[in-house]
Amino acid sequence: MTDTSTRALAAQATRATTTRPRWRRALVSIAYFVIPIAVVIGIWQLVTMLNPPAPFFPQPFAIIANLWDLMFGSPKAVQQVFYGEFLQTVGRMALGFAIGAVWGVVVGTIMGLWRGARETINPIVEFLRSIPATATLPLFIILLGGGNDMRVVFIAYGVSWFVLINTSVGVGSVHKTLLDVGKVFRISLARRLFRIVLPGAMPKIFAGLRIASTAALLLAIVSEFMLATDGVGYMLVQAQGRFQLLNMWSWMLALAILGLIINTLLEWIEGRILGWHRQSKSRA
Amino acid sequence: MTTTAAPRQTRRSPRVGAIWRGVAGVAGLAIILEIVSRSGIVDQKYLPPFSSVIVRAFTLWGDETFRADVGATLLTYLLGLLISIVIAVPLGALFGLFNPVYRAARALIELMRPIPPVALIPLVLLMLGNGLEMKLVIVVFAAVWPIMFNTLYGVHDVDPLAKDMARSFGIRGFGVIRRIVVPSAAPFIITGIRISSSIALIVVITVELIAGGAQGIGAFISREKGSYVDVGETYLSVLAATIMAGIIGLAINLLIGWVERRYFGWESTARDGV
C-alpha cells in the first residue's frame, strides 16, 4: 500500500513540475497541509469558546499552552517532567524498536533466503504474529516483572513481527538471477548479503519499519498504562485518576506529536535511503 | 532449487513438502517446550508444559464466562469494523472525487493516522464508562483511517480515460461512480479493510485489557492476572487465553485473506501491503 502511494506521489510531483514553477508548487502543498488543520482547530476553538464550558473538551489553545507549561515553563517541575517522562517513553520505545528491528531483519533474511527454513518456521510465525501483541503483555509481566527491561523486551517482541514478515517477503522477491550472478562471480556471502540481497529488499523492509514504529509507540504507551512509575502513558493515567482533564488532553497531544515526529522521521530517512528506488520506479 | 528444471508432474510436491516442513516445525517446537518444561530446566511455574497449556485452552471453552468474553470481543470487533466501513468508505469516496478536497483530506488523514488510538482510552473511559460504547469509540477511531485513506486513494486513482469513455457512452452522474469508480477502487478499499481489521482486533483486546471490568478476552486475561490464587494456575489460564486470542486472530486473517484473493484477486494491491 505504501508502495502504491509513493508511486502516486512521484507521479504527481513529475506532473506538477512541468506545469508550475517550483516555489509556487511548494507554497501550494504547504497551504494544503496547513489550512485544513487551521480550520479544524479554529472550529474547535470557536465552539468551545461560544458554548458554556464543556468539561471534557477544553479549548485547543489552552491545551497547547498547558502542554508547554508541563514540559518547559512550569516553575514547579521543569526538568523532571520533560526529561523524566517524555524521554523515558522515547528511550524505551527507541531501544525496543531497535532490538526488534534487528531481530526481525536477521530472522526475516534467513527465512527469505532459505526455503526450507521459511517453510519450517512459517506456521509458527503466522500464529505468533496473530496474537495481538498487547495481549501478551501480562505474560511478559509475569515472566520478567514490571521493570524497564520487561517493557523494552515487550516492545521489541511486538515490533519484530512487522519487520520480520516484510524482510522475508522482500528478500524472497530478490530476483534469483541476481543471486546467481553473485555466486558465479564468487562474491563472498557477506558481500552478496549486503550488496545484493538487503538493498533489493530495502523498500519492503522500510515499509515494515514504518508500521513497526507506530506499533512501538502504541506498545510503549500500553505498557505504561498497565504498570509503570513514569513515562507519558503513566502521566496520562495519573491525570485521569485525578480528573485533570486539561492535563490529560495535554499528554494526549504530546503522544500525538510524538507519533507524528516518529512517522515524519522515518519518512525522511526512507526518502534519503530509497531515493534511487523511487526514481527508478517513476522512470519505468 | 531443482524444481524449476523438473517436469510438470512434480510441481505439486513442493507444496506437500512445505506442509510437512511446517508440521515438523510446529511439532519440533512443541516437543522442545515440553522437554524444557518437564525436565525442570525452566521452572514449570513460568513455562508450563506445552501439552497442559493446550489442554487448558480446550477446557476454557467449557467455561461459560470465557465463551461470553470471546463473544463480547468478537461483537465489538465486528461492530467497530462495520461502523468504520460505513463512515470511511462514503466519506473517502466523496473526498477522493474532487482534487482540492482530496489533497486537503489527505493532509488531515496523514496527521491523524500516526496518533496512537490507545492514548484516547483514559479520556473516553471517563466520558462513557467501561461498556461497549467506550470500546467502540476507540476501535472506530483506530480502524477508520486505513479504510478512509485507501478509499480516498483508490477513488482518486481511477483512470480518467475510463471515466471519459463511460461518459461518452452516455452514462451520467451516479452511473459513472457505480460502474467505473467503485469497481476500480474496490481492491484498494478491501486492502484498507484488511489492514483495519487486524488493527481493530488488536485495539479491542488492548482496550479490554487496560480498561478491565468490561467483558472480553482482554478483560478475562486481566481478571485472571489479578486473581493471585496460585501463580502456576493463573499463568496457565493467561497463557491459554492468549493462545485463544491468537487462534481467533489467525482465523480472521485467513478469512479476510481468502475473501480478498477470491473476489478481488485481479488487482496487484491485494498482494501488497502488510
Cell numbers for A68, please give them: 508547554
User: When comparing pLDDT for B210 and B137, which is higher?
Assistant: B137
| pLDDT for B6 beyond 60 | no
CA–CA distance, B259 with A277 (Å, rounded to integer): 32
Mind telling me how many Å the CA of B104 is from chain A's nearest CA?
Answer: 5
Chain B residues touching residue A163 (CB < 8 angstroms): none
State the best of A9, A134, A243 to mutate against chain B, taking most chain B CBs within 10 Å.
A134
A207 has a pLDDT exceeding 60: yes
* Single residue among A11, A36, A54 that ends a domain in this structure: A54
**Per-residue pLDDT for A278 more than 70?**
no
For residue B252, give the chain A residue with the closest CA.
Answer: A130
Share of chain B above pLDDT 90, in %: 13
CB proximity A32 to B under 8 Å: yes
Mean pLDDT of A149-176: 90
Could you list the residue range(s) of the whole structural domain that residue A86 is in?
59-283
Residues A23 and A44 in one domain: yes
- Asked whether residue A40 falls in the same domain as residue A72, the answer is no
**Do residues A16 and A118 both lie within one domain?**
no
The pLDDT, as a whole number, for residue B54 is 85
CATH code of the domain containing A193: 1.10.3720.10
The pLDDT mean for chain A works out to 81
Do residues A105 and A215 share a domain? Answer: yes
Q: Containing H/E element for A6? A: helix A2-19
pLDDT > 90? residue A156: yes
**Segments in B114-181 forming alpha helices (H):** 121-128, 132-156, 160-168, 174-176
pLDDT, residue A11, reads 53
Select the residue of B114, B202, B221 nearest A260 (Cβ to Cβ): B114
Single-letter residue type at B243? I
Name, of B79-83, B93-97, B120-124, B243-247, the range with top average pLDDT. B79-83
Alpha helices per DSSP H over A174-230: 176-184, 189-192, 198-226
pLDDT at A282 over 90: no
- Max mean pLDDT range (A9-13, A143-147, A279-283, B149-153): B149-153
On the question of pLDDT at B158 being above 70, the answer is: yes
Q: How confident is the model at residue B236 (pLDDT cuts 50, 70, 90)?
A: confident
Cell numbers linked to B48: 508450563
- State the pLDDT at residue A75: 59
Categorize the per-residue pLDDT at A77 as very low, low, confident or very high, splitting at 50, 70 and 90.
low
Residue B108's Cβ-side half-sphere holds a number of Cα atoms within 13 Å equal to 18
A18 pLDDT above the threshold of 60:
no
Q: B232, B235, B29: which is closest to A139 by C-alpha?
A: B235
A37, A222, A248 member nearest B210 (Cβ): A222
A76 CA: distance to closest CA in chain B (Å): 25
Residues A35 and A163 in one domain: no
| Closest-CA distance of chain B to residue A199, Å | 19
Do residues B118 and A255 lie in contact, with contact meaning Cβ atoms separated by under 8 Å? no
pTM of the complete model: 0.81
What total number of domains does chain A contain? 2
Q: Are residues A241 and A134 in the same domain?
A: yes
pLDDT-wise least confident of A95-109, A205-219, B2-16, B247-261: B2-16
The answer, for A130 touching chain B at a CB cutoff of 8 Å, is yes
Residue B88 near residue B105 (C-beta atoms within 8 A): no
Q: How far apart are CA A48 and CA A45, in angstroms?
A: 5
Residue A265 and residue A209 in one domain? yes
Helices A198-226 and A2-19, packing angle to 10 deg: 110
Task: DSSP letter for A71, please.
Answer: I
Report CB contact under 8 Å: A142, B235: yes
Domain-wise residue ranges, chain B: 2-38, 50-270
ipTM given for this complex: 0.78
**Domain termination site, one of A31, A54, A77:** A54
**String of b and e for A183-208 (b: at least 16 CB within 10 Å)?**
eeeeeeeeebbeebbbbbbbbbbbbb
Q: Chain A closest CA to B227's CA: distance in Å?
A: 13
Kindly report, residue by residue over A94-127, the tens digit of the pLDDT: 999 999 999 999 999 999 888 888 888 888 888 8
Question: Architecture of domain B50-270 in CATH?
Answer: Orthogonal Bundle (1.10)
pLDDT of A52 = 67
Same domain, A123 and A217: yes
- Band (B200; pLDDT cuts 50, 70, 90): very high
The two counts, helices (H) then strands (E), for chain A are 14, 0
- First CA to last CA distance, chain A: 19
| Residues whose CB falls within 8 Å of the CB of residue B12, separated by 6 or more in sequence, listed in order | none
Which of A194, A196, A208, A185 is CA-nearest to residue A266?
A208
